[in-house]
Amino acid sequence: MAAATEEPRWLDEDELHTWFALVSLFTRLPAALDRQLQRDAGVSLFDYQVLAALSDAPERTMRMSRLALIADGSLSRLSQVVARLEKRGWVSRTPDPADGRYTLAILTDAGWEKIVEAAPGHVAEVRRLVFDPMTKAQRRQLCDIGRRISTTIDPDESCLR
Q: Which CATH number goes with the domain that contains 63?
A: 1.10.10.10
Domain assignment present for residue 160? The answer is: no
Domain membership of residue 126 (yes or no) is: no
What are the respective helix, strand and coil percentages of the chain, to the nearest 5? 70, 10, 25
Residue 16 to residues 67, 75, 127: CA-CA distances in angstroms?
A: 34, 34, 27
Q: If pLDDT is split at 50, 70 and 90, which confidence band does 2 have?
A: low
Confidence grade of residue 4 (pLDDT, cut at 50, 70, 90): low
How many folded domains does the chain comprise? 1
In a domain, 107, yes or no: yes
pTM, entire model: 0.85
Tens-digit pLDDT profile for residues 75-98 = 999 999 999 999 999 999 999 999
pLDDT grade for 154, boundaries at 50, 70 and 90 = confident
Residue at 68 is within a domain: yes
- Average pLDDT value for residue range 35-49: 97
In-domain check, residue 28: no
For residue 44, the enclosing domain spans 38-119
Q: What are residue 107's DSSP bridge partners? A: 91
